[in-house]
Amino acid sequence: MEPRGDTGALRTLIDREHLAVTVYKRQIGAFRKWPQIDRWLEEGAANEEWHRDGITARLREFGGRPSVLRFFFALAGGVIGLGSRVTGKRMLLKIDIGVERLAVKHYTTFLGRYSWDDETRVMLEKMRHDEEIHIQHWEQGLDMLRGMNRTAGG
For the structural domain made of 7-153, what CATH number should be given?
A: 1.20.1260.10
C-alpha span between 102 and 116 (Å, rounded) = 21
pLDDT in tens, the chain (154 residues): 454 579 999 999 999 999 999 999 999 999 999 999 999 999 999 999 999 999 999 999 999 999 998 899 999 999 999 999 999 999 999 999 999 999 999 999 999 999 999 999 999 999 999 999 999 999 999 999 998 755 444 3
Give the residue ranges of DSSP H helices in 1-154: 7-27, 35-61, 70-85, 89-113, 118-153
For the chain, which residues make up each domain, given as ranges? Answer: 7-153
pTM above threshold 0.85: yes
C-alpha span between 132 and 44 (Å, rounded) = 11
